[in-house]
Copies of this chain bind each other. A is one copy, B any other.
Amino acid sequence: MRIVQKFGGTSVADIERIQAVAQRVKAEVDAGHQVAVVVSAMAGVTNQLVEYCGAASPMHDAREYDVVVSTGEQVTSGLLAMVLQNLGVQARSWLGWQIPIHTDSVHGKARILSIDTAELVNRLEDGQVAVVPGFQGLGEDSRITTLGRGGSDTTAVALAAALKADRCDIYTDVEGVYTTDPRIVPAARKLDKITYEEMLEMASLGAKVLQTRSVELAMNHHVRLQVLSSFANTPGTLVCDEDEIVEKEIVSGIAYSGDEAKLTLVGVEDRPGIAASIFGSLADASINVDMIVQNVSEDGSTDVTFTVGRADVDRAKQVVENDDAIVCREVRADGQVVKVSVIGVGMRSHVGVAKTMFEALADKGINIQVISTSEIKVSVLIAEEYTELALRSLHTAFGLDSE
Binding site for B on A (CB under 8 A): 15, 18-19, 49, 52-53, 55-61, 63-68, 71, 74-75, 77-79, 81-83, 85-86, 92-93, 95, 97-98, 142-144
Contacts and interface: CB of A to CB of B under 8 A. Distances in A.
A49 B57 CA distance: 25
B64 A71 contact: no
Interface SS, A side: helix
Nearest to A42: B52
Given A64-B92, A97-B97, A98-B142, A57 B75 contact: no
Given A56-B15, A83-B57, A71 B65 contact: no
A326 to B, nearest CB: 38
A78 B64 contact: yes
A75 B70 CA distance: 9
A93 B49 CA distance: 16
A227 to B, nearest CB: 27
Identical chains in the assembly: 2
Given A67-B93, A93-B67, A56 B83 contact: yes
A58 B87 CA distance: 12
A93 B75 contact: no
B98 A82 contact: no
B64 A52 contact: no
A85 B57 CA distance: 8
Q: Which 9 A-B pairs have the closest CB atoms?
A: A67-B78, A71-B71, A68-B78, A57-B86, A57-B82, A64-B78, A15-B55, A60-B82, A56-B82
24 contacts: A15-B52, A18-B56, A19-B56, A49-B75, A52-B75, A52-B79, A53-B78, A56-B79, A57-B86, A60-B86, A61-B81, A64-B78, A64-B85, A64-B93, A65-B78, A65-B82, A67-B74, A67-B77, A67-B93, A68-B78, A68-B79, A71-B74, A97-B97, A98-B143
Nearest to A74: B71
B67 A53 contact: no
A223 B125 CA distance: 49
A21 to B, nearest CB: 11
A49 B42 CA distance: 12
A56 B86 contact: yes
Contacts of A53: 78-79, 82
A188 B14 CA distance: 47
A52 B204 CA distance: 37
B63 A92 contact: yes
